[in-house]
Copies of this chain bind each other. A is one copy, B any other.
Amino acid sequence: MNEETIEAVVFDVYGTLFGFGRLAERARAIVGDVPLLDRWRTKQLEHSFLRTILGEYEDFWVITAQALDAACEQLELELLPEEREHLLQGWLELDPFPETAMALERLAERGLRLAVLSNGSPMMLEQLLRMAGLREWFEAVLSADAVRRYKPSPAVYALAPAHLVVPPERILFCSANGFDVAGALRYGFRVCWVDRTGSALDALGKQPHRTVQSLTELSEQL
């Protein structure tokens, strides 16, 4: 990979720039050891995939709420309205990973253009990035909402080159999510898998151009 050709770095958001630790704590405080957050996240992704296949778009905030309800039904949990609200609100108040701000600063200093490209709705992304004080680093906050379907649909990835006016092969796309690595590779980006846990990558048989354990590691390499 010739690094000199990379002009922009585009980040996935949930699980890549922001972790779920704080949301997991909220869930634990309400339901104890029941694996609600795991089921919720799984349902959220499943619903976004299924709605994309069905051609039946719903806002990601609605999908997130419906996925919580579906997860609770399956786990036979009944939340109070204020507990449900508190959990949902958690998506707007996630913590960035400890190294996120410093890594973004370093990449910006190198003259790289930075953007995010996420399944999150514009409202969710803007609130989250502002709350965390990270909004200023990104020249674009791109949401799947603009094309009314979800990653890994090629139409979502196409937002980045169109908006930045940079060809896909000069964009490094960073994600911690296997399905996102698969979609970004297929679309034609350079792809970096952020593997914080040493887990197995499931990117439908494809291999990313690089793998890092943290955004710090990425920022030191570019």
Q: Which residues from chain A sit less than 8 Å from chain B, CB to CB?
A: 43, 46-47, 49-56, 66, 70, 73-74, 76, 150, 152-154, 179, 182-183, 186, 199-200, 202, 204-205
Contacts and interface: CB of A to CB of B under 8 A. Distances in A.
B55 A202 contact: no
B200 A70 contact: yes
28 contacts: A43-B202, A46-B46, A46-B179, A47-B204, A49-B49, A49-B50, A50-B152, A50-B179, A50-B182, A50-B183, A51-B204, A53-B53, A53-B153, A54-B152, A54-B153, A54-B154, A54-B182, A54-B183, A54-B186, A54-B204, A56-B186, A56-B204, A66-B204, A70-B202, A73-B200, A73-B202, A74-B200, A76-B200
A12 B152 CA distance: 26
Do most interface residues of chain A lie in helix, strand or loop, or is the interface mixed? helix
7 tightest A-B contacts by CB? A73-B200, A49-B49, A70-B202, A74-B200, A53-B153, A52-B53, A50-B179
Contacts of A46: 46, 49, 179
A199 B75 CA distance: 10
A151 to B, nearest CB: 8
Nearest to A155: B53
A205 B66 contact: yes
Contacts of A54: 152-154, 182-183, 186, 204
Contacts of A202: 43, 70, 73-74
Contacts of A150: 53
